[in-house]
């Protein structure tokens, strides 16, 4: 994890059955309820790299599973993938993270991420917010975008996203009503409830409340990571 003023950058390794996969995420530190991430299967990182670099791997490791005994990674295969992962980090992932802006990251939550050359952005958010969602697919994205808009003092633009997320979080956490404050979703709902309450009762205090809440979230970001 790299914790910066506005962002939390995460690089990790995920084990899924017979794969070992590097994962790359960017969170908005003042609303770290949802990240932009690299989709190694369907995203543009591999396509971009294969156009510009001599790489032979897909940036993840496949294990060898013998009939008897524990699975293992062949040394040559592991080292070949590792070389490409290091290249991706140095030339693509870290420069992309360094160039990220709050405005750009928030936009990822609500619209498709396409570059001027017609290629998808390396980092993606899925799904983007759609208010017709009948379940809970994009409530995290809506919360990030709504809170981010209010931090930027774009209240009218952020309001429908905060209300949408608030309703979804409340519905989703209802079965665990008594224990909801112990979970990330309960903490996020508490933030949204506080914002709407101040908006409705004491709008003159809204700006100060947002600053206090965003500072609290930024300082305690680990409590809000989904």
pLDDT digit string, tens, across residues 86-121? 999 999 999 999 999 999 999 999 998 887 777 789
* Confidence bin at 41 (pLDDT 50/70/90): confident
For the CA atoms of 173, 177, 181, 187, the dihedral, rounded to the nearest 10 degrees, stands at 30
| Cβ neighbours for 54, distance < 8 A, ≥ 6 positions apart | none
List the end-to-end C-alpha distance of the chain, in Å, as a whole number.
Answer: 14
* Whether residues 155 and 205 fall in one domain: yes
In a domain, 173, yes or no: yes
- Backbone φ and ψ of 220, nearest 5°: -120, 40
Predicted TM-score of the model (pTM): 0.93
In a domain, 150, yes or no: yes
CA angle 151, 221, 132 (to 5 degrees): 60
Cα 51 from chain centroid (whole Å):
26
* Whether residues 97 and 189 fall in one domain: no
* Confidence bin at 182 (pLDDT 50/70/90): low
* Confidence bin at 174 (pLDDT 50/70/90): confident
* Whether residues 84 and 163 fall in one domain: no
Percent share of the chain, pLDDT over 90: 77
In a domain, 63, yes or no: yes
Where a domain ends, among 76, 95, 124?
124
* Whether residues 150 and 203 fall in one domain: yes
C-alpha–C-alpha distance, residues 189 and 84, integer Å: 41
In a domain, 145, yes or no: yes
Structure tokens belonging to residue 17: 């059955």
| Cβ neighbours for 226, distance < 8 A, ≥ 6 positions apart | 33, 34, 140, 184
In a domain, 131, yes or no: no
Across residues 8-33, what is the average pLDDT?
94
* Number of domains the chain is built from: 2
Across residues 60-77, what is the average pLDDT?
87
pLDDT at 178: 47
Q: Which of 115, 94, 119 is CA-nearest to residue 9?
A: 94
pLDDT at 19: 87
* Confidence bin at 181 (pLDDT 50/70/90): low
Structure tokens belonging to residue 124: 């993606």
Residue span of the structural domain in which 110 resides:
2-124
pLDDT at 112: 82
* Whether residues 78 and 182 fall in one domain: no
In a domain, 155, yes or no: yes
Q: SS3 of 20, please?
A: strand
Q: Which of 149, 152, 107, 150 is CA-nearest to residue 129?
A: 107
* Confidence bin at 177 (pLDDT 50/70/90): low
Where a domain ends, among 124, 153, 180?
124
Of residues 165 and 177, more confidence is placed in 165
pLDDT digits (tens, 9 = 90+) for 135-164: 999 999 999 999 999 999 999 999 999 999
pLDDT at 15: 87
In a domain, 132, yes or no: no
* Whether residues 43 and 143 fall in one domain: no
C-alpha–C-alpha distance, residues 38 and 60, integer Å: 13
* Confidence bin at 66 (pLDDT 50/70/90): confident
* Whether residues 103 and 199 fall in one domain: no
In a domain, 59, yes or no: yes
pLDDT at 43: 81
């Amino acid at each position: 994890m790299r914790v910066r003023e506005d962002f939390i950058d995460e690089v990790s390794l995920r084990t899924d059955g017979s794969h070992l996969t590097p994962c790359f995420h960017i969170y908005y530190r003042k609303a770290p309820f949802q990240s932009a991430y690299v989709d190694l299967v369907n995203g543009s990182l591999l396509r971009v790299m294969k156009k510009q670099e001599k790489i032979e791997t897909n940036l993840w490791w496949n294990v060898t599973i013998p009939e008897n005994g524990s699975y293992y990674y062949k040394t040559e295969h592991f080292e070949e993938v590792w070389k490409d992962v290091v290249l991706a980090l140095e030339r693509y992932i870290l420069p992309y993270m360094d160039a990220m802006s709050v405005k750009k990251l928030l936009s990822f939550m609500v619209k498709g991420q396409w570059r001027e050359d017609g290629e998808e952005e390396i980092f993606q958010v899925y799904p983007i917010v759609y208010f017709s969602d009948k379940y809970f697919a994009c409530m995290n994205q809506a919360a990030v975008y709504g809170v981010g808009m209010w931090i930027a003092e774009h209240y009218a633009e952020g309001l429908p996203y905060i209300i949408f997320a608030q309703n979804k979080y409340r519905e989703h956490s209802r079965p665990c009503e008594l224990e909801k404050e112990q979970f990330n979703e309960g903490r996020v709902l508490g933030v949204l409830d506080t914002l709407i309450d101040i908006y409705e009762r004491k709008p003159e205090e809204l700006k100060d409340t947002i600053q206090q809440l965003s500072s609290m979230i930024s300082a305690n970001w680990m409590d809000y990571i989904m």
